């Protein structure tokens, strides 16, 4: 005699679901479409998040070390110019300009237009980076209220 089963009329629970190869191009759960939509919509979000974190870190570093770095660059420039004036040092300024990408064909107007075009095309990313920088650069405010633990 056959043992009585409780899943009469229902699919066999031991049977495996059909493999995706049996139905090519059909995704009954819609996961592929959902993953593609999330990836395509979140790429700008991820980029904005990265710019925000980068701006925040850059703002904190500027708050802590900007004064030191500016004085160091200024003093280095003054010393190099003084050595050049004294004849101790000869600087190939055209090579320095080329090193920083400011060759003979360098145009500040073209560069600034390119920067503003990038900002116009990436408003969300630029805003996230700017907000991150401003939050990182602002000084930390101390609370006026003192908390005393114990008497």
Residue 17: inside a domain, yes or no? no
* Helix boundaries (H) for 20-149: 31-86, 93-99, 108-121, 123-137
What does the pLDDT read at residue 96?
81
| 96-148 tens-digit pLDDT | 888 877 777 777 787 788 889 988 988 888 999 999 999 998 876 665 666 66
What does the pLDDT read at residue 102?
75
What 3-state class would DSSP assign to 13? coil
What does the pLDDT read at residue 132?
93
Contact call for residues 130 and 59 (beta carbons, < 8 A)? no
| 40-73 tens-digit pLDDT | 656 778 888 899 999 999 999 998 898 899 999 9
Residue 11: inside a domain, yes or no? no
Query: What is the DSSP secondary structure assignment for residue 12, as one 8-state letter?
Result: -
CA dist 66 to 58, 62, 143, 148, Å? 10, 5, 25, 35
Stronger pLDDT, 27 or 58, i.e. the higher one = 58
Please state the domain count of the chain.
1
Residue 129: inside a domain, yes or no? yes
Boundaries of domain holding 64 = 48-137
What does the pLDDT read at residue 111?
78
Residue 148: inside a domain, yes or no? no
What does the pLDDT read at residue 52?
93
Q: How many CB atoms lie within 10 A of CB 119?
A: 13
* CA–CA distance, 17 with 10 (Å, rounded to integer): 14
Reported confidence tier of residue 74, pLDDT bands at 50, 70, 90? very high
Residue 6: inside a domain, yes or no? no
Residue 2: inside a domain, yes or no? no
- The crossing angle, in degrees rounded to 10, of helices 108-121 and 123-137 is 100
| DSSP labels, 95-122 | HHHHHTT--TT--HHHHHHHHHHHHHHT
Residue 112: inside a domain, yes or no? yes
Residue 30: inside a domain, yes or no? no
What does the pLDDT read at residue 10?
57
What does the pLDDT read at residue 59?
92
Average pLDDT value for residue range 83-88: 91
What does the pLDDT read at residue 114?
84
């Amino acid at each position: 005699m056959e043992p009585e089963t409780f899943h009469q009329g229902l699919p066999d629970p031991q049977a495996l679901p059909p493999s995706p190869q049996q139905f090519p191009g059909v995704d009954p759960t819609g996961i592929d479409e959902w993953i593609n939509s999330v990836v395509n919509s979140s790429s700008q979000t991820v980029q904005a998040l990265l710019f925000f974190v980068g701006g925040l870190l850059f703002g904190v570093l500027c708050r802590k070390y900007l004064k030191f770095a500016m004085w160091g660059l200024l003093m280095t420039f003054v010393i190099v110019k003084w050595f050049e004036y004294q004849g101790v040092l000869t600087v190939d300024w055209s090579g320095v300009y080329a090193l920083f990408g400011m060759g003979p064909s360098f145009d500040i107007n073209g560069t600034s237009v390119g920067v503003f075009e990038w900002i116009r095309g990436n408003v969300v990313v630029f805003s996230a980076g700017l907000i991150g920088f401003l939050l990182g650069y602002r000084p930390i405010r101390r609370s006026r209220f003192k908390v005393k633990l114990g008497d």
